[in-house]
Amino acid sequence: MKIICDEKICVKCLACVTESEFGGVFFERGRIFFDETRPEDWENIFAICPVGAIKKSVTEVTDNVSKFSD
């Protein structure tokens, strides 16, 4: 899974970093980063974002849709 943060709408409230239990979300050099290999509750981290800036990569979603339509 590839996770992205839309920097244009992120308000840097750091709720996602606080919600991260295993270091999968961290703030460094003024940006939010993700380590998708960590066993986080990713759906909860997506939901905790007050502006909806954290999402699965559009490319991955498109790839999954094409797999099911084959």
Angle among Cα 39, 51, 45 to the nearest 5 degrees reads 10
Q: State both tokens at 56.
A: 């699965």
Q: The domain spanning residue 60 has which CATH number? A: 3.30.70
Which domain covers residue 64, as residue numbers? 3-69
Q: Per residue in 15-57, pLDDT tens? A: 999 999 999 999 999 999 999 999 999 999 999 999 999 998 8
In which band, very low, low, confident or very high, does the pLDDT at 1 lie, cut at 50, 70 and 90? confident
Count of structural domains, the chain: 1
Q: What is the pTM assigned to this prediction? A: 0.75
